[in-house]
Amino acid sequence: MNLKENLKRETQKRFLVLLSTMDLGGSAKRCDVLDNIERKEYFWPAFESEMRPLESTNAPAWRTDFSYTRKHLVTEGYMDDTIRGVWEVTDNGKKYLKQLAFLFKELDDYLSNADENSKEYHFQSSMLHK
């Protein structure tokens, strides 16, 4: 991965799903992981549509979106889905999280030293400093 890859929203969501699950001991119920993301303000919706409740669930759209992100992490072997309703980070997922954390730190360092025109992207990596 390179710095440009780290700016992708999907990569940020992957990081947050893994980070939030690890915050809760590496394994937790879906609602607990998503509540943790919200409580710790790890995620700020970029679009109003992400906050609107979906008709099917009456939950904000971002929560369903993060569930799909988790599904992709399962498919790639970074999370386990053997227990229904429980999100669990695999050993490969822990390694991937460390890799993402390092790359986001690298991005943050780069942007901290960048010219003012690049500062607009700084907010995307500032979540590491909460």
Which strands sit side by side in the sheet containing 79-80, from one edge to the other? 27-29, 86-89, 79-80
The 3-class SS string of the chain reads: CCHHHHCCHHHHHHHHHHHHHHHCCCEEEHHHHHHHHHHCCCCCCCCHHHCCECCCCCCEHHHHHHHHHHHHHHHCCCEECCCCCEEEECHHHHHHHHHHHHHHHHHHHHHHCCCHHHHHHHHHCHHHHC
CATH number for position 21: 1.10.10
Distance CA 29, CA 125 (A): 26
Range of the structural domain that residue 123 is part of: 3-129
Count Cα neighbours of 106 within 13 Å in the Cβ-side half-sphere: 13
Number of domains in the chain: 1
Is pTM beyond 0.85? Reply is no
How long, in residues, is the chain?
130
- The tens-digit pLDDT sequence of the chain (130 residues) is 444 544 688 898 899 999 999 999 999 999 999 999 888 887 665 555 555 655 666 567 788 889 999 999 999 999 999 999 999 999 999 999 999 988 878 767 766 776 544 444 444 444 444 4
Give the type of residue at 129.
H
